[in-house]
């Protein structure tokens, strides 16, 4: 009974029995090497050996083991794309330490290629389309690769687009100005060269938002700053003008003239004897300031009148010549100045003289 | 006179470059369309009891063109309703663009090698035959520069 109970425990307890691998999984990584593993079922406790060969080659033991807890769990095999080894069948076996076969594997590797993810994602906005570009590993030629793009707006669900072979670009027509876009790309071998069942890992995430949004934000900030500057300037100007007004009487009188109250107009006229300047209470200095303190010399201006030749007989002047213009007679002589004329200027002007040609 | 000769030489050179470029592009496009036809046929044709001689991956060096001829000769034996597609594929397989692309040996090297006859290849069903043909074409395309 006790023995049965122990056997039952031994059978049900998961950690007590050594796991035996039942499957080998091999992938060609980026057309550089082959990665085979046999620890899918769980942690292995026994050390196994691995031997393999491609169709046209001799069988060899694994050159580089992958280990976990000091136990062989996988193998890295060399691969040659030049020999097109992926079109050959890979024969592989996992052996126990006593040489017995645990698993054997015979698989054509054409569809078992996993490429490295795309890199160097860039986005360019060419009105009215948003273009995404990327690079892929150069191990496989471009006509042998096909890409898949997925993108989402504002963190919503992903939308997937399958790209044609050889294309390393994708576009979103008329992208929204108010949305945030996120892009990812992955790649695999295309049907032209033996389509792979396995896609690469997704590339790094690339985000993009409208340039116009960014510009609007910048413009608004700039406007606010300018507005603040204008207000500050206006306040400073106001304060400055206020100070000037308080200290400069002349400026105050000009800008803010005193307007007498018309209530007691009659009394004002009697008191100041009609002198308006006294009403305004302008200081004497300011009054004198408006009076001119210079004199202007008057410029005499004479007016001439046309006189006929008959009135100038016997004259030797050139003017008697029939070719010359008729003589002029002084009409008036007056000063052009509007200021009070001094005694000098009021004297009679000298008689008009004409030059005679001799 | 010298200028005219130089101009004629330049024009001839440009023409040769253009022809070479167009040939390379045509070769790639032609191959792609042939692979596409083979894929389509592989998907559409149902498996049946017809067995055909099919070269596999263990084709000897410099025997690729001989293998292609074998594929081409067996193709029309496949019973299917997609006869037009079958004929188009068969026609493309015999074109020089494909024939020259699958081989990786010179004429002299090919002359020295004795390749297997078509009958000596293993017999497989029509589905397996088309898969082998597709794989053969994909391998040849991968080799193209």
Nearest 5°: phi and psi at A353? -120, 145
Count other Cβ atoms within 10 Å, centred on residue B128: 17
Candidate from B39, B58, B141 with C-beta closest to A193: B141
Q: Is residue B28 less than 8 Å (CB to CB) from chain A?
A: yes
Q: Which residues of B touch A87 (CB under 8 A)?
A: 57, 135, 138-139
Query: In the structure encoding, which two tokens stand for residue A153, read together?
Result: 């707006």
Q: E strands of B34-141, at which residues?
A: 51-53, 123-125
- The token duo for A105 is 């594997």
pLDDT band at A212 (very low <50, low <70, confident <90, very high): low
| Strand order through the sheet with A60-61 | A60-61, A49-54, A89-95, A101-108
Residue B120 sits in a domain of what CATH number? 1.20.1250.70
A143 touches chain B (CB under 8 A): yes
**Is any Cβ of chain A less than 8 angstroms from the Cβ of B78?**
no
Residue A331 pLDDT level (bands cut at 50, 70, 90): low
pLDDT at A15 over 50: no
Q: Can you say how many angstroms the Cα of residue A318 is from the centroid of all Cα atoms in its chain?
A: 87
**Residue A277 banded pLDDT, cuts 50, 70, 90:** low
* Confidence label for B96 from pLDDT (cuts 50, 70 and 90): confident
Q: Is the pLDDT of residue A145 over 90?
A: yes
Q: How far apart are CA A338 and CA A328, in angstroms?
A: 27
Q: Does the beta carbon of A88 lie under 8 angstroms from any beta carbon of chain B?
A: yes
Look up the pTM and report it.
0.63
Contacts of B141 in chain A (CB under 8 A): 143-144, 192-193
Assess A110–B contact: CB distance below 8 Å, yes or no.
yes
Lay out the sheet containing A119-126: strands in order across.
A119-126, A129-135, A169-173
| Minimum Cα–Cα distance from B30: chain A residue | A192
The residue of B32, B56, B57, B136 whose CB has the most chain A CBs within 10 angstroms, and thus the best one to mutate to test that interface, is B57
How much is the ipTM here? 0.81
The pLDDT value recorded for residue B123 is 93
B20-35 pLDDT, tens digit per residue, is: 665 666 778 889 999 9
Q: Does the beta-carbon distance from B57 to A55 stay under 8 Å?
A: yes
Residue A226: what pLDDT? 84
Closest CA to A177 of A213, A132, A218, A123: A213
Nearest to B138 among A55, A88, A192 (CB): A192
Query: Using the beta-carbon criterion (under 8 Å), do A194 and B35 form an inter-chain contact?
Result: no
What distance in Å separates residue A192's CA from the closest CA in chain B?
6
CB contact under 8 A, B57 and A191: no
Q: Can you count the helices (H) and strands (E) in chain A? A: 7, 18
**Of the ranges A193-197, B4-8, B108-112, the best mean pLDDT one:** A193-197
Average pLDDT over residues A111-133: 93
Question: Among B65, B39, B57, B44, which Cα is nearest to B124's?
Answer: B57
Strands of the sheet containing A113-114, edge to edge, are A64-68, A71-78, A33-37, A25-29, A113-114
Q: What is the pLDDT of residue A347?
A: 46
> What is the rounded CA–CA span in Å between residue B108 and residue B103?
13
Domain region containing B13: 2-142
Q: Nearest CA to CA, how far is B7 from chain A (Å)?
A: 37
Task: Find the CB nearest B142 among A84, A89, A108.
Answer: A84
Minimum CA–CA partner of A109 in chain B:
B135
pLDDT digits (tens, 9 = 90+) for A102-121: 899 999 999 999 999 999 99
Question: Quick one: closest CA in A to B141, which residue?
Answer: A193
Distance to chain B for A43, nearest Cα, Å? 37
pLDDT digits (tens, 9 = 90+) for A175-189: 888 889 999 999 999
Which strand ranges, in their side-by-side order, compose the sheet holding A180-189?
A159-162, A145-153, A180-189, A206-209
Residue given tokens 């590797």 in the structure block: A109
pLDDT at res. B9: 85
Contact B139 A192 (CB under 8 A): no
Burial label for B121, CB within 10 Å (0-12, 13-18, 19+), is buried
Q: How many domains does chain B have?
A: 1
CB pairs under 8 A between A and B: 38
Tokens of residue B65, six digits: 């063109």
Band of residue A309 on the pLDDT scale cut at 50, 70, 90? low
Q: Taking CB atoms and an 8 Å limit, are A193 and B142 in contact across chains? A: yes
Which of B28, B32, B135 shows the shortest C-beta gap to A194? B135
Q: Does A191 touch chain B (CB under 8 A)?
A: yes
Torsion of CA A207, A213, A219, A221, to 10 degrees: -70
Taking CB atoms and an 8 Å cutoff, what residues of chain A touch B58? 55-56
pLDDT at A358: 40
């Amino acid at each position: 009974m006790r023995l049965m109970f122990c056997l039952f425990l031994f059978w049900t307890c998961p950690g007590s029995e050594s796991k035996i691998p039942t499957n080998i999984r091999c992938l060609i990584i980026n057309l550089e090497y082959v990665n085979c593993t046999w620890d899918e079922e769980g942690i292995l406790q026994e050390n196994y050996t691995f031997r393999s060969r491609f169709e046209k080659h001799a069988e060899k033991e694994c050159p580089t083991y992958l280990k976990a807890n000091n136990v062989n769990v996988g193998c890295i095999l060399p691969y040659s794309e030049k020999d097109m080894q992926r079109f050959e069948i890979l024969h592989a076996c996992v052996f126990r330490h006593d040489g017995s076969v645990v698993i054997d594997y015979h698989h054509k590797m054409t569809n078992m290629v996993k490429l490295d993810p795309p890199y160097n994602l860039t986005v360019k906005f060419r009105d009215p389309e948003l273009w995404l570009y990327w690079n892929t590993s150069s191990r496989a030629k471009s006509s042998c690769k096909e890409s898949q793009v997925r993108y989402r707006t504002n963190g919503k669900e992903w939308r997937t687009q399958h790209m044609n072979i050889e294309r390393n670009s994708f576009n979103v027509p008329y992208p929204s100005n108010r949305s945030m876009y996120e892009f990812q790309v992955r790649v695999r071998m295309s049907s032209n060269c033996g389509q792979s069942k396995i896609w690469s890992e997704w590339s790094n995430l690339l985000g993009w938002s409208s340039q116009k949004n960014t510009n609007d934000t910048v413009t608004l900030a700039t406007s606010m700053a300018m507005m603040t500057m204008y207000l500050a300037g206006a306040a400073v100007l106001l304060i400055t003008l206020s100070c000037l007004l308080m200290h400069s009487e002349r400026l105050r009188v000009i800008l803010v003239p005193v307007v007498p109250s018309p209530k007691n107009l009659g009394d004002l006229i009697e008191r100041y004897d009609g002198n308006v300047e006294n009403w305004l209470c302008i200081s004497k200095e300011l009054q004198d300031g408006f009076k001119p303190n210079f004199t202007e010399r008057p410029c005499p201006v004479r007016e001439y009148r046309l006189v006929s030749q008959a009135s100038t007989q016997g004259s030797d002047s050139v003017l008697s010549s029939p070719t010359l213009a008729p003589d002029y007679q002084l009409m008036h002589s007056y000063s052009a100045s509007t200021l009070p004329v001094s005694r000098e200027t009021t004297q009679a002007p000298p008689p008009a003289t004409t030059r005679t040609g001799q | 006179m010298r200028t005219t000769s130089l101009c004629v030489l330049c024009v001839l050179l440009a023409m040769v470059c253009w022809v070479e470029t167009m040939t390379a592009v045509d070769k790639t496009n032609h191959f792609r369309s042939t692979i596409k036809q083979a894929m389509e046929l592989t998907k559409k044709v149902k498996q049946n009891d017809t067995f055909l001689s099919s070269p596999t991956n263990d084709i000897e060096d410099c025997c690729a063109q001989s293998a292609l001829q074998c594929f081409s000769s067996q193709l029309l034996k496949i019973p299917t309703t997609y006869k037009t597609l079958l004929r188009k594929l068969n026609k493309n397989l015999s074109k020089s663009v494909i024939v020259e692309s699958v081989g990786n040996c010179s004429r002299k090297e090919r002359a020295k090698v004795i390749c297997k006859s078509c009958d000596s290849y293993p017999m497989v069903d029509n589905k397996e035959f088309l898969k082998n043909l597709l794989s053969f074409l994909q391998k040849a395309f991968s080799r193209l520069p």
